[in-house]
């Protein structure tokens, strides 16, 4: 029997987490092998590794504890990747040399698979004097463009794209340009952006007071606080960014306020971190802990929850010692504070299984109680580890116990910390779990509501035919198993389509009370919400204790995630038209014995050897499309990157979907040493020239209509029309099952995430 609750779960495991050799040959024969690999690796630092390996395996079994994807894919692999998900980089110096030192550190971190956050408030504003060079500063936005270009050239470890968060204080003189930067769809595509809103600013907004924009003690401009707030809100209303981070609340509630100051978060916002801060993530799957679901006696097994949390905390603490780090300062910071981020997934499913409607007062109360239990169990488990292994090195009992989080803790927890110290400075966080929730059987992700009770997914098979499979929410499938496939769902079953924004905020605030870091969550707003009503969502989040707020309002600019009908099927013909020729391949297509293709000669000026580019095509459903690329040169300096490019582009081509974005990505790469003039046009790099060759081939074979017609928005899909419903296509697999999951546009078919 398979351990997977749904076919999509096994496919996600195979694509994302199954350890394989470079040529794709599986090393993990089964998901049990994956669990064993993780358990063995995380137990290796214990005095009795055999005993802890079995305990860790038991926690992983049946998807009860879900380490973050970095750990599932990388633990025990002996590959040079980090097991940490989240990094905030060092403070950016306000100097050219310092800025580019930070750029290098960012590249090295993303190369090993880390998502990064930055506070760009430390860079002087545009137009400020630059001492000694008789010039004006270009401002932080210009350097964000440089970071964005760097990220575009780096594919993070595994199959994840680079992910970055850019933060800026609400009093920085360039904040207005920062707010609207992403209204240009071609700019800062690899960044999420958030405004750091201080308590003083929020009070000025409420009081309709003036607000100063200043840098290094100099006031550059004064404007009404409400005017600036309305600009933030208008951009978010129209473009879904920037997010808002209540930075003073984060620092006030921080257990480590006595030894650090936070000014940025990781890309999805759930981990506020100090300079060089790093955090690893993991989630307790609440849906697996419900006993006697859908009966009057349904309840979460609290003792099982306590035990699972204790094991998870120890396993995650061990990852701090087992992981590699891209930079030495990150390793030192992690070792000094031993931060972890244990959260939950399957909350909405668990609430449904015990008979509670997500978004109701009763559900919010139960959520708060469960999160408090997790916090208690986490802190007590960490004190037990501290008794054995010692507290984190920067532990100061008086200062730590004086933090607002610890002041709210039960007395027995405070006593335990006072007596034994605590192993991990911070312990809880609610992370995006879009892909691992699919891996666990399509449980509801994080603390989000169920997106859809079920949906139909098209899968392209090896022979070119397409099949359909129903993807059912875990709690809905449990109901069907009990009452039959045709049984109506109870009234307390709700989905993201039917909840009001204030119900979303209520659930976030209820969970936040007992989470010592933060929460990644999307507040879904209807398209027709008024601007004033939209602003009220953010004020409600601030007033109810949230540490940040991220919304998503579908509109003509942002596009729309798939609108799901709970009562009617989409017309097959319309779905076929919207889906395109290729939606998703369960596996890459086999290579035929022979393929038709063309070889192109590319001569780069001043290079002694030409580059030869062979592009072979495959005919799928009567259409010719590129299948593989071979790039060769006698210049041995080119050998490593031409081989890497050959493999990467060929892998993209074989997965299907609209692959024309490869052209635009290559054409956008610039060489800081300078480009060259070719055929009367300036080409910024050899890679851009290769992109031009591939573009020419695509035009000649009918894939592209003309030059410059390639897909320019790899992470952000074009909007298509399906009857009266707008549907976005996944840029990875071409499917239309897209949804916003904790601030990230996520594909339910293949697990692709805009945030990485």
Show which residues are catalytic: 266, 268, 270
- Burial (CB count within 10 angstroms: exposed 0-12, middle 13-18, buried 19+), residue 721: exposed
Query: What residues are paired with 156 via a beta bridge?
Result: none
* Packing angle of the helix pair 49-60, 302-322 (nearest 10 deg): 120
Query: What are the CA-CA distances from residue 124 to residues 92, 137, 217, 482, 567 (Å)?
Result: 11, 7, 11, 62, 55
Q: Which two tokens stand for residue 493?
A: 């079953």
Four-point Cα dihedral 211, 508, 727, 749, nearest 10: 130
Residue 705 CB: number of other CB atoms within 10 A?
10
**Cβ(281)–Cβ(428) below 8 Å:** no
**Cβ(351)–Cβ(364) below 8 Å:** no
CA-CA distance, 186 to 148, in Å (whole number)? Answer: 11
CA-CA distance, 746 to 731, in Å (whole number)? Answer: 11
Q: Nearest to residue 324, comparing CAs of 530, 76, 497?
A: 76
**H helical segments located in 514-583:** 531-543, 572-579
Give the chain's length: 756
Q: Nearest to residue 385, comparing CAs of 410, 354, 417?
A: 417
Q: Which two tokens stand for residue 613?
A: 């580019």
Is the peptide bond between 242 and the residue preceding it cis, with omega within 30 degrees of 0?
A: yes
CA-CA distance, 735 to 620, in Å (whole number)? Answer: 17
CA-CA distance, 256 to 337, in Å (whole number)? Answer: 9
Which helix or strand (DSSP H or E) is residue 688 part of?
Answer: helix 686-700
Q: Nearest to residue 559, comparing CAs of 523, 527, 520?
A: 527
């Amino acid at each position: 029997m398979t351990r997977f609750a749904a076919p999509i779960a096994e496919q996600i495991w195979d694509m994302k987490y199954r350890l394989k050799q470079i040529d794709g040959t599986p090393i993990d024969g089964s998901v049990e092998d994956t669990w064993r690999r993780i358990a063995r690796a995380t137990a290796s630092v214990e005095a009795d590794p055999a005993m802890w390996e079995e305990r860790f395996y038991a926690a992983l079994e049946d998807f009860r504890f879900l380490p973050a994807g970095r750990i599932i894919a990388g633990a025990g692999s002996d590959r040079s990747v980090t097991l940490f998900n989240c990094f905030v980089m060092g403070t950016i110096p306000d100097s050219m040399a310092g800025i580019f030192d930070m750029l290098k550190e960012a590249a090295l971190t993303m190369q090993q698979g880390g998502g990064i956050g930055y506070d760009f408030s430390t860079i002087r504003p545009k137009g400020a004097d630059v001492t000694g060079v008789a010039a004006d500063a270009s401002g932080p936005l210009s350097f964000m463009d440089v970071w964005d270009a760097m990220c575009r050239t780096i594919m993070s470890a595994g199959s994840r794209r680079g992910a970055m968060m850019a933060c800026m204080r609400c009093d920085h003189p360039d904040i207005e340009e920062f707010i609207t930067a992403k209204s240009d769809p071609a700019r800062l595509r690899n960044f999420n952006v958030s405004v750091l809103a201080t308590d003083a600013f929020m009070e000025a907004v409420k009081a309709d007071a003036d607000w100063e924009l200043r840098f290094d003690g100099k006031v550059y401009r004064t404007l009404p606080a409400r005017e600036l707030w309305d600009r933030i809100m208008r951009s978010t209303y129209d473009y879904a960014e920037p997010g808002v981070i209540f930075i003073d609340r984060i620092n006030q509630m921080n257990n480590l306020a006595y030894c650090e100051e936070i000014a940025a978060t990781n890309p999805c916002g759930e981990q506020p971190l100090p300079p060089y801060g790093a955090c690893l993530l993991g989630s307790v799957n609440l849906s697996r802990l419900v006993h006697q679901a859908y009966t009057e006696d349904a309840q979460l097994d609290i003792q099982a929850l306590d035990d699972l949390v204790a094991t998870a905390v120890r396993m995650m603490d061990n990852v701090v010692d087992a992981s590699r780090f891209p930079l030495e300062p990150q390793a030192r910071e992690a070792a000094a504070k031993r931060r972890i981020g244990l959260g939950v997934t399957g909350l909405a499913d668990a609430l449904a299984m015990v008979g509670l409607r997500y978004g109701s007062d009763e559900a919010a109360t139960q959520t708060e109680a469960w999160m408090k239990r997790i916090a208690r169990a986490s802190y007590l488990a960490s004190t037990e580890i501290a008794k054995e292994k010692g507290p984190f090195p920067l532990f100061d009992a008086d200062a730590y116990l004086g933090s607002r989080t610890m002041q709210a803790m039960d007395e027995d927890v405070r006593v335990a910390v006072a007596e034994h110290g605590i192993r991990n400075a911070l312990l809880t966080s609610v992370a995006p779990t879009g892909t691992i929730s699919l891996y666990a059987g399509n449980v509801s992700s994080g603390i989000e509501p169920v997106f859809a009770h079920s949906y139909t997914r098209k899968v392209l098979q090896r022979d070119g035919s397409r099949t359909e499979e129903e993807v059912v929410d875990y709690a809905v499938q449990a109901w069907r198993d009990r009452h039959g496939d045709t049984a109506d769902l109870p009234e307390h079953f709700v989905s993201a389509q039917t909840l009001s924004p204030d119900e979303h905020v209520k659930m976030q605030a209820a969970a936040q009370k007992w989470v010592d870091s933060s929460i990644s969550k999307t507040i879904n707003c209807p398209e027709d919400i008024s601007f004033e009503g939209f602003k009220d969502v953010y004020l409600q989040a601030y007033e109810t204790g949230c540490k940040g707020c991220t919304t998503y309002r579908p509109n003509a600019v942002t596009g729309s995630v798939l609108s799901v009908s709970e009562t009617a099927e989409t017309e097959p013909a319309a779905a076929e038209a919207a889906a395109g020729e290729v939606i998703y391949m369960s596996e890459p297509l086999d290579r035929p014995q022979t393929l038709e293709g063309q070889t192109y000669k590319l001569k780069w000026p001043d290079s002694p050897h030409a580059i030869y580019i062979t592009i072979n095509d495959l005919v799928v459903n009567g259409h010719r499309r590129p299948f593989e690329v071979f790039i060769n040169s006698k210049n041995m300096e080119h050998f490593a990157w031409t081989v890497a490019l050959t493999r990467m582009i060929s892998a993209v081509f074989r997965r299907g979907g609209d692959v024309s974005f490869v052209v635009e990505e290559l054409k956008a790469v610039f060489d800081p040493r300078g480009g060259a003039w070719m055929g009367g046009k300036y080409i910024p790099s050899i890679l851009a020239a290769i992109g031009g060759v591939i573009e020419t081939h695509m035009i000649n074979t009918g894939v592209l209509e003309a030059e410059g017609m390639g897909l320019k928005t790899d992470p952000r899909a074009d909007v298509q029309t399906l009857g009266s419903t707008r549907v976005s296509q996944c840029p990875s697999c071409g499917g239309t099952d897209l949804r916003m999951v904790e601030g990230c546009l996520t594909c339910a078919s293949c697990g692709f995430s805009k945030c990485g």
